Amino acid sequence: MALRTIAVLRDRQMLFGAPDLLGEAQMSAAPFSARRAIGVVLATLLGIGFFNALLGVFGLSAAIIALLLFISLAVLIFYGRSLDKTQS
């Protein structure tokens, strides 16, 4: 039981505490450039636009177009950036 408790605590520490296992240090060391900030803002606006379009705010036709565009974009990104092939 004690061993199991230690194992659970260890997992919890990895989850919420933090020995760096996946390169968090690399991320935090990376400079947050203006280009990246603009990218984040544009991506957020695009996301909000898609969300509202999918909810039908701009009409049914726009919702269908938004759905097709969003899925196409997702599929393109999924196949274009299949990370586990390049990094594993």
Give yes or no for residue 4 binding other proteins (CB under 8 A): yes
Give yes or no for residue 35 binding other proteins (CB under 8 A): no
Selected binder of other proteins within 5, 31, 33, 84 (CB under 8 A): 84
- How far apart CA 84 and CA 88 sit, in angstroms, is 5
Give yes or no for residue 34 binding other proteins (CB under 8 A): no
Measured from the CB atom, the residue of 15 and 34 that comes closer to other proteins is: 15
Q: Please report where in the chains the tokens 């909810």 appear, as a residue.
A: 55
Q: In the numeric block, which tokens belong to residue 73? A: 């974009």
- How far apart CA 6 and CA 12 sit, in angstroms, is 10
Nearest CA to 62 out of 51, 49, 53 is that of: 53
CB atoms within 10 A of CB 50: 15
Selected binder of other proteins within 5, 9, 18, 31 (CB under 8 A): 18
**Which residues of this chain interact with other proteins, rule CB under 8 A?**
3-4, 7, 11, 14-16, 18, 21-24, 26-27, 40, 43, 47, 50-52, 54-59, 63-64, 67, 70-71, 73-75, 77-78, 81-84, 86-88
